[in-house]
Structure 1
Amino acid sequence: MEPELNLPAPYTPHAGFVAAFGVCGMVAIVRGIKPAEAAEHGRALYEAGFRIIEVPLNSPQPLDSIAALRQALPADAMIGAGTVLTTERVRDVREAGGELIVMPHADTDVILAAKLQGLACVPGVATPTEAFAALKHGADALKMFPAEQLGPAVTKAWRAVIPPVVPLLPVGGVKPDNMGPQLAAGASGFGLGSALYKPGQDAAATRANALAFIEGWKAVHGAQK
């Protein structure tokens, strides 16, 4: 019998994140979106099947886009911010209606700030040391970033020591037709960037891209059964 893997602290993930991720294990990253178009693109993503949408804070007026998405979408959609670098920005995201903090790094102060304010947090990690430190401080999932450097072999090695209950999300270079190897290695889902949304594209393109990812996701999961 395999020995049970235990985390250094109780793992109590954010209930809203667990519910949204359970519907769709892919996070839509809409870097560069503008507030006036956020609702339309958000509805396209939601109707395709996505339940988690991330607006990076280096987008134009990102807090306004977060507020627009929160107002436009049903309560079971989780709206959050990416590229959150400071504890002050965590507060700003919460006040705009955001429920999720995503980071490119594993700053434990930012993780703690998010958890103390009742938000879900997915920090970026590139080593097992960063991963376990993030989990110790309350991370709900781990963003494996950049995924181009952390391929399936790394995911498999990490999964041998990180319990299956903890979601691993490679981010970077993910396309509808290349998800299989990472999922087979132990990834739980993905963060999707420019292959899903590019600034300036219309909502019809966002919808088409979203549906392609949903079909790719279903195809891989069907093949693994």
Structure 2
Amino acid sequence: MTGARLQPGPVLTGSGLVAILRGRSGERLAAACEVLLDAGVRCLEVTMNTPGALDVVGRLTADAGAGTEIGVGTVRRPEEVDRAADAGAVFVVAPNTDEAVGRRAAERGLAWYPGALTPTEIARAWDLGAAAVKVFPAGSAGGPRYLREVRGPLDDVLLVPTGGVGVEDVPGYLQAGAVAVGMGGPLLGRALEDDAELAGLAGRARAALDAVARGRSGA
């Protein structure tokens, strides 16, 4: 292991939803984050490769109260962990599993959600100290059915499927054993590039939260 395993944040596990904000432009990034927070989505992942990401994370974490978790995604190098930590992030997410990144996250006290897909990759990420493993790209791998099959032998591993997760998929993933789901494009749409899409973001966020509630109730 890279160090003592940190637990996933209580907002992530409690809400069951991580909103992933990634865009070519950062012009509407802060506005989109505020819309999501106001709609009740309290766990946000702002990706490192979105212009202005760390500035927005810094402002959000300075203003965030209890019940909010702000993290940085697409963190692939140890120095990027440091930049995320300095901005006030409480977790880092990666598309891959890199031991040096996990070690630095443990040193900085950040929960680490590395990406993995196959059972071998998922088990390795967990053994290296992941707080939870990001199963990516979950949709392309077979969706909830794939997650359920992986959970059979790896039932001690906390999994967060991301990649192509639509609102209609959320209940199935949670019932298959996911601790939470990560939603990017199907939730955000083009909210970071288009004002009309930004205007509809609150409705999509509420629909995603409703889907989480259905999944957890077994409906």
Question: Under TM normalisation by the shorter chain, which class is it?
Answer: 0.7 to 0.9
Partner of 1:3: none
CA contact (8 A) 2:28 2:193 kept: no
Structure-to-structure mapping, 1:101-180, within 5 angstroms: 101-151=92-142, 152-164=144-156, 166-180=157-171
**Secondary structure in structure 1 of the residue aligned to 2:168:** coil
> Unmatched 5+ residue regions in structure 1?
1-7
Indicate the larger mover: 103-112 or 204-213. Answer: 204-213
TM-score, normalised via structure 1 length: 0.85
CA distance in structure 2 between the partners assigned to 1:172 and 1:47 by the alignment: 24
TM-score, normalised via structure 2 length: 0.87
| Fraction of identical pairs, as percent | 33
CA distance in structure 2 between the partners assigned to 1:92 and 1:10 by the alignment: 20
State the AA in 2 paired with 1:155.
Answer: L
CA contact (8 A) 1:34 1:62 kept: no
CA contact (8 A) 1:57 1:83 kept: yes
CA distance 1:162–1:18, shift in 2 (3 Å): farther
State the AA in 2 paired with 1:158.
Answer: V
2:214 is the counterpart of 1:223: no
**Cα deviation, residue 36, structure 1:** 6.0
**Cα deviation, residue 192, structure 1:** 0.4
**Cα deviation, residue 35, structure 1:** 5.8
CA contact (8 A) 1:38 1:68 kept: no
CA RMSD of aligned residues (A): 2.3
CA distance 1:9–1:192, shift in 2 (3 Å): same
**Cα deviation, residue 34, structure 1:** 5.9
More helix as a share of residues: 2
1:42-69 Cα distance to aligned partner (Å, 9 max, x none): 2322232222101111100211121122
Aligned partner of 1:200 among 193, 211, 218: 193
